[in-house]
Structure 1
Amino acid sequence: NEHTNGLIRQYIPKKSEFDNISKEQIVTIAHKLNHRPRKSLNYKTPFEVFMHSFHQILVA
């Protein structure tokens, strides 16, 4: 999605070489993005929405 690409570009400039990005950097960026509130999720984080859905499956 274009919005997510823009969020990623805040951490990784457009013409960056991916060979120069460590796994640790990717994990850090993913964590930051997954814990960032989103207007489209009613200001919940993607992590919160995922955990809520996962919990609903477990108790069903």
Structure 2
Amino acid sequence: MVPPGTRVKTFRHERTGVLRMTSVSLPINGMPECRVVTYTPSDEESRRGLDLLLAEEG
């Protein structure tokens, strides 16, 4: 089994600017070809930008 991998990925958004997100890739038991990937803000600036985008959706 491969351990979960973490990375910081950078996205550029026209309204929020740069969003730095930490991604974690997790295997799914019994399905070796599948993984679940989660993204969380890596810093406070990215968290505020993500909050802004989520507020616009709501």
Give the TM-score, by structure 2 length. Answer: 0.31
Q: Which one has more relative contact order, counting CA pairs under 8 Å at least 6 apart? A: 2
Structure holding more helix per residue: 1
Structure holding more strand per residue: 2
Give the TM-score, by structure 1 length. Answer: 0.30
